[in-house]
Amino acid sequence: MMIRNYRSEDLNYLLKLADQTETRSDSGDSVSKWQLLEYIGHPGSSPTKDLFVAESDGNICGFISVFAEPGIGRALLNCQVLPSHRRQGIGTVLSDCALKRAAQSGVNVVQANISESNAVAKKRLTSMNFQYIRNFFELQANIYKNSLPIVKSAEYVIRPMRQGEEKTLTMLQNRCFAGSWGFNPNTVNEIIYRLNLKGCGHQDIQMTFWKDLPVAYCWTRVNHTVKKIDPENKANIQMMGVHPDYRIRGIGKQTLLASLSDLADKGCDIVELTVDANNRAGLALYKGLGFKVLETTEWYEKRV
């Protein structure tokens, strides 16, 4: 077994590995090939330094990525090993390499997010002195155009984002989530990068304005893969926020409804999102519109 840094010629092998683990994994810890591609292309990543692969007999059987967020002093770890090579210590060795790299990047902590049902990953993280710190919920709702409440926005204008408003959205998002757990302030370049991902675009972001002031937004993304075993047209709520000075006025609900209505018009049946279990206001909003808990994920942390 050889552990080494990622090389550009590894890409197709990693995409195949991610596709295999996503199809075969029942532990909730799979990484899709689209997630992998987006990590490698992200303006804040350096895959030849921050991505490690495990190679056996010339074949890549596992990898781990380190995504540093110096602004908030943390790095995110994402590890995947082929089912046929699990329980052989590969994940532990990959994690050791990732921890060393994280320490070199100058962050204070590393964090990993896993399914609550993933007993193997829990055991591995605990053995490496990771501490459980937080729960998040994966929510899901069936949406039907005729059953959605009517959007009422007499005082506000809700419309899709326009070209040239990238800086406006960046400033709004950073203001909405300032001080929120795990939020790393975005740059305009990061927003532009995400807008150009497959299934994303300006038309997928509903923005709410009070007079000419942006006060809320909801960013959705229609899934770009459809599996035979999962034929529904799915979409995700990527981010949704309301300016702190304009909360408790029903603006978040109206903005979310505008996005759900837009997704229904696009033929989406299922909408999913992730929410912090401590976000009581968000949970109340989503559950009030028919979202139900599909899965619980857990965050673990280790100081470096």
pLDDT in tens, 22-61: 654 444 455 677 778 888 888 888 999 999 999 988 889 8
List, for residues 123-146, the tens digit of each pLDDT value: 889 999 999 999 999 999 998 766
Question: Of all residues in the chain, what percent carry a pLDDT higher than 90?
Answer: 62
Whether 129 contacts 302, CB under 8 Å:
yes
Is residue 2 predicted with pLDDT exceeding 60?
yes
Cβ count near 16 (within 10 Å): 13
Q: Distance between the two ends of the chain, CA-based, in angstroms?
A: 26
Cβ count near 239 (within 10 Å): 20
List, for residues 254-267, the tens digit of each pLDDT value: 999 999 999 999 88
- The closest alpha carbon to 98, from 71, 74, 120, 82, belongs to 74
Coil, helix or strand at residue 209: strand
pLDDT of residue 233: 81
CATH superfamily of 139-297: Gcn5-related N-acetyltransferase (GNAT) (3.40.630.30)
CATH class of 2-129: alpha beta
- The closest alpha carbon to 79, from 41, 114, 38, 128, belongs to 114
User: How confident is the prediction for the chain on average, in pLDDT?
Assistant: 88
Domain ranges of the chain: 2-129, 139-297
Is residue 179 predicted with pLDDT exceeding 80?
yes
Q: What is the pTM for the complete model shown?
A: 0.88
Q: Fold match between 2-129 and 139-297?
A: yes
| Helices (H) then strands (E): counts for the chain | 9, 12
pLDDT of residue 134: 96
Is residue 209 predicted with pLDDT exceeding 90?
yes
* Separation between Cα atoms, residue 173 and residue 285, nearest integer Å: 19
